[in-house]
């Protein structure tokens, strides 16, 4: 299936990954490879393990890898801390972005951006230089400058939180972005702004994994591959028309697929 862009090395390789939390197995042998420039969509019922997969790739300490490997740019990152993964270019856009009362959004964004810049051996930005950069990036998600003076995500609407996630993605310039249900809770206009932001940020050197329930995001951002997850496994992989088929037939269709296989 993944034949189009194999001239370069993969950005992310998830190999037969199994993971658990509190001794409860959640992922049961997931494999997934993302090459530069590729957009992958992961779909599946609630509780099938989509979000868990994203958190494990980002290094959530509550999950334990029981088998398999995660490789980023050819290096095994199983034992890396979440911040090390982020600094090296893995970005997780949260389904429910966390509110951090008392921490200004501007300062949070600046500290994050500088952590990434430091890793890239780029000069860290002072408050003034950062203001310039962030002003430019705000345009991408059509956010007002006033959001920067508020506490991180506090009092933000659902749409504003998601746009703030995309703003962070724009600032951090990751090699791979995993966007966990970025489309949930968005109205049509907000969805278009977010989708357009993602398209502007992504390029031929980056990879994107979109975790979603709905075709509407995939109408805006066409994926190269669509994976269907069920019970901690990827049970089917196809191209973008798989999502359309899924939309038509529902997840019961994938249940039949499991029975057949």
Integer angstrom CA distances of residue 26 from 62, 117, 236: 12, 34, 18
Q: Binding residue for other proteins (CB under 8 A) from 20, 29, 45, 60?
A: 60
Q: Does 73 bind other proteins (CB under 8 A)?
A: no
Give the footprint of other proteins on residues 74-93 (CB under 8 A): 81-83, 85-87, 91-92
Q: Binding residue for other proteins (CB under 8 A) from 7, 102, 144, 261?
A: 102
Q: Does 261 bind other proteins (CB under 8 A)?
A: no
CB of 50 to other proteins, least distance (A): 17
Q: Cα–Cα distance between 202 and 40 in angstroms, integer?
A: 13
Q: Binding residue for other proteins (CB under 8 A) from 3, 23, 46, 62?
A: 62
Give the angle subtended at the CA of 210 by the CAs of 63 and 141, to the nearest 5°.
Answer: 115
CB of 95 to other proteins, least distance (A): 12
Q: Binding residue for other proteins (CB under 8 A) from 94, 147, 156, 225?
A: 94
Give the angle subtended at the CA of 181 by the CAs of 38 and 191, to the nearest 5°.
Answer: 85
Q: Does 119 bind other proteins (CB under 8 A)?
A: yes
Largest CA distance in the chain: 60
Q: Does 100 bind other proteins (CB under 8 A)?
A: yes
CB-CB contact of 91 with 180 (8 Å): no
Q: Identify each DSSP E strand in the chain by its residue range.
A: 12-21, 24-34, 39-44, 64-72, 75-76, 90-93, 100-104, 151-152, 176-180, 207-211, 225-230, 233-238
Q: Binding residue for other proteins (CB under 8 A) from 58, 143, 166, 234?
A: 58
Q: Cα–Cα distance between 63 and 82 in angstroms, integer?
A: 12
Give the footprint of other proteins on residues 146-165 (CB under 8 A): 151
- Cα 127 to chain center, whole Å? 28
Q: Which of these ranges, 102-110, 124-132, 209-217, 237-245, lies near other proteins under the rule CB under 8 A? A: 102-110
The contact set with other proteins (CB under 8 A) reads: 58-62, 81-83, 85-87, 91-92, 94, 97-98, 100-103, 107-108, 111-112, 115-116, 119, 151, 168, 172
């Amino acid at each position: 299936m993944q034949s189009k862009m194999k001239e370069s090395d993969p950005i992310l390789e998830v190999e037969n990954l199994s993971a658990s939390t509190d001794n409860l197995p959640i992922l049961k042998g997931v494999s997934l490879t993302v090459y530069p420039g590729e957009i992958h969509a992961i779909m599946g019922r609630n509780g099938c393990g989509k979000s868990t997969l994203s958190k494990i790739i980002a290094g959530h300490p509550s999950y334990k890898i029981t088998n398999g490997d995660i490789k980023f740019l050819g290096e095994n990152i199983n034992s890396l801390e979440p911040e090390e993964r982020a600094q090296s270019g893995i970005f997780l856009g949260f389904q429910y972005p966390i509110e951090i009362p008392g921490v200004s959004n501007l300062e949070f964004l600046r500290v994050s951006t500088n952590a990434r810049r430091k890793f890239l051996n780029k000069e860290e930005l002072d408050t003034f230089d950062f203001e310039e950069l962030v002003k430019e990036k705000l345009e991408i998600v059509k956010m007002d400058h006033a959001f920067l003076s508020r506490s991180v995500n506090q009092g933000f609407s659902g749409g504003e939180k998601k746009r703030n996630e995309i703003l962070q993605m724009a600032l951090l310039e990751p090699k791979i972005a995993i966007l966990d249900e970025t489309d949930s809770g968005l109205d049509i206009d907000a969805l278009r702004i977010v989708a357009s932001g993602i398209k502007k940020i992504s390029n031929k050197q980056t990879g994107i994994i979109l975790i979603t329930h709905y075709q509407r995001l995939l109408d805006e951002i066409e994926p190269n591959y669509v994976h269907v997850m069920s019970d901690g496994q990827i049970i089917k992989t196809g191209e973008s028309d798989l999502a359309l088929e899924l939309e038509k037939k529902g997840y019961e269709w994938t249940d039949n697929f499991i029975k057949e296989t």
